[in-house]
Structure 1
Amino acid sequence: MAKISVIIPTYNRGKFTVEAVKSILAQTYKDYEIIVVDDGSTDDTKEKLKVFGNKISYIYQKNKGPSAARNTGIQHAEGKYIAFCDSDDRFLPNKLEKQMNFIKEHPKCRFLYSWYYNVNEKGEITKLRKPFSCKHQEQLQYCLFARRFTIRTSTLLLSKKCFKKAGLFNEKYWYSQDWDMWLRLAAYYRGYCLEEPLSEYWLHGENRSSLSVKTHHPEIKENTLKLYGWNDEKIMQLEKLYGKKKKGGKSR
């Protein structure tokens, strides 16, 4: 069994973070560590997490943003694989086991994401989100670049070695930092999708505002075009190939 480091970045979300930790402790896959990176919380997050004792590693740092918190977790991780669980998200009990089984069956897989549920403040499932399955690395690159689907951070499982090629999260991005990261990962890895929901994305008053922030960062697009070596003609070709529903990928 390969060890997984589950990283939970948090900021002033004590109650949510406790539930996130509980969802990881309930995993059927047991070879993991939990690293909670408290990004300068001023609430009772630290006190609430004391209930878990040595079941988690708690790291407190000055508020630097979500990218810096994830990077701190990666740098302290001892596992061969990295999983992220945002503090207001939750894992379904068999998430890690199913993902590790998938990787065992697909030994070339280094970068794996899955479907997930949207859950409202009452704990009710409101929608099943189904990111595309892309059979080609170029298809994944295009679909991510064109924002044809979103990879939810809390569905991801990837080899820690991926960050040596793709780099860490860009700490100047407080929004769309995950989009930037997936685009860079897709430059080196195909990316696989496990087509079943394995995580829950909880929608609440604190995170709804971020959904409407359209900071798609022209800089991210420009950097990606350089990284991929794409021009306008190439993008038009990719639009013809992958812009509509194709046999090689599933529109969701």
Structure 2
Amino acid sequence: MPRVNIVIPAYNAEAFIAATVRSALDQTFTDLQVTVIDDGSRDATAANAALDDARVRVISQENRGMSRSRNRGMAEVDSEFVALLDADDLWHPEKLRLQLQALQDRPDHDFCYSAFDVWHGEARPDYFAQPRQGSIDESRSGWIYPVLVLDNYALPSSVIWRRSAWDSMGGFLTDNQQTDDWEYLVRASTQHRFVRLAESFVLYRQHPVSLSRRIPATNTTEMMRADLIRRFGMSSPPGHDVDPVALQRFQHKGWANFADAHCAKGDLALGLKTFAGLLRRGPYRGATLTKMGKSLFRRWVPND
């Protein structure tokens, strides 16, 4: 049994999956297996993922979505540690070695994550060649619920954790792929300590987004944040407190950005209604009015 199993959910990822799997296999830590869940792809994802390497296992299923694919992958593996990797991201070769070292040094911590670079697919040979030291970011290590409920600093592709923690917690929710991973990690942060590596170990691929893409009618991020606060409170575990001012600032930003998107390019009535709610409730009324004015200007005077 390998010490680490890397679960990669993949859907129509033929253009990226081979490079992603190779970045996992090219780790300096080698006691690993890669489990690719081909989620009903209609292209060559499954064939491209295999790489003719015995350490790669490809499991095909009907399309069920990201969260169910992650749960399926975890159900199929039995290793001391598990890690996630999205089908279009890449890892630095020292990622697993240094994360396992961090968890070995802190046996009372069950999750390790790292910084990451936002990436648009350009060649980055320097990124993979640069050595890493494995330095720890203490400000976002330990009981991190108070910061993680504010913003999802833990990119799924950066996380490795003890299989025992997965077994005790259960899997990802499968309600909304935009927030399922955040919910899982916040839930984990109320029960387990995290350690964060300060250096970047992941290239997080960003894809061009069509301007005509439909803007969601529901602010799922802020609805999830409200649900997390309702479930876990402002201190979880007790003594590790969420900063109420910071929480209010993040909530305002989330709703203001939602309103801005709709006023500028989406459902104008919904955007104005959301702005009106922010003005009615306060605070930050000045900033709200300024943002509303800018978003309406962008709607009526488009620059494209």
**Shared fold, TM over 0.5:** yes
Q: 1:22 is aligned with what amino acid? A: R
Cα distance change, pair 38–208 in 1 and its aligned pair in 2 (3 A): farther
**3-state DSSP class of the match of 1:74?**
helix
**3-state DSSP class of the match of 1:178?**
helix
Q: 2:186 is aligned with what amino acid? A: L
Q: Give unpaired runs (5+ residues) of structure 2.
A: 128-135, 248-304
Q: 2:207 is aligned with what amino acid? A: H
**3-state DSSP class of the match of 2:229?**
helix
Contact 1:176 1:217 in 2 (8 A): no
Matched with 2:52 is: 52
Matched with 1:39 is: 39
The residue correspondences of 1:8-87 to structure 2 (distance < 5 A) are 8-87=8-87
Matched with 2:220 is: 215
Contact 1:114 1:155 in 2 (8 A): yes
Structure 1 residue 133 corresponds to structure 2 residue 157 = no
Q: Give unpaired runs (5+ residues) of structure 1.
A: 244-252
Q: 1:83 is aligned with what amino acid? A: A
For the residues of structure 2 that align with 1:206 and 1:28, how far apart are their CA atoms? Answer: 35
Matched with 1:188 is: 191
The counterpart of 1:146, out of the listed 136, 147, 150, is 150
Pairwise CA RMSD: 3.1
Larger RCO, structures 1/2 (Cα 8 Å, 6+ apart): 1
Contact 2:80 2:162 in 1 (8 A): yes
The residue correspondences of 1:90-239 to structure 2 (distance < 5 A) are 90-124=90-124, 133-137=139-143, 140-147=144-151, 149-205=152-208, 215-216=220-221, 218=223, 220-230=224-234, 238-239=242-243
Q: 2:220 is aligned with what amino acid? A: T
Contact 1:142 1:242 in 2 (8 A): no
Matched with 2:131 is: none
**3-state DSSP class of the match of 1:238?**
coil
Deviation, structure 1 residue 157: 0.6
Residue by residue, what CA displacement relative to the aligned partner does 1:21-40 show, whole Å, maximum 9, x if unpaired?
11011110011110000111
Deviation, structure 1 residue 230: 4.1
Q: 2:147 is aligned with what amino acid? A: C
Deviation, structure 1 residue 241: 8.6
Q: 2:67 is aligned with what amino acid? A: S
Q: 2:206 is aligned with what amino acid? A: L
Contact 1:165 1:188 in 2 (8 A): no
For the residues of structure 2 that align with 1:195 and 1:167, how far apart are their CA atoms? Answer: 28
Say how many residue pairs are matched: 231
For the residues of structure 2 that align with 1:103 and 1:180, how far apart are their CA atoms? Answer: 22
Contact 2:141 2:196 in 1 (8 A): no
Contact 1:84 1:156 in 2 (8 A): yes
Contact 1:17 1:87 in 2 (8 A): yes
Contact 1:133 1:192 in 2 (8 A): no
Deviation, structure 1 residue 164: 2.8
Deviation, structure 1 residue 2: 7.0
**3-state DSSP class of the match of 1:175?**
coil
Residue by residue, what CA displacement relative to the aligned partner does 1:47-66 show, whole Å, maximum 9, x if unpaired?
22343243311001111110
For the residues of structure 2 that align with 1:35 and 1:156, how far apart are their CA atoms? Answer: 16
Matched with 1:249 is: none
Residue by residue, what CA displacement relative to the aligned partner does 1:74-124 show, whole Å, maximum 9, x if unpaired?
001121111111001011101000111111111111011111112223235
For the residues of structure 2 that align with 1:34 and 1:52, how far apart are their CA atoms? Answer: 12
TM-score, with structure 2 as normaliser: 0.68
Contact 2:119 2:206 in 1 (8 A): yes
Q: 1:133 is aligned with what amino acid? A: S
Identity %: 24
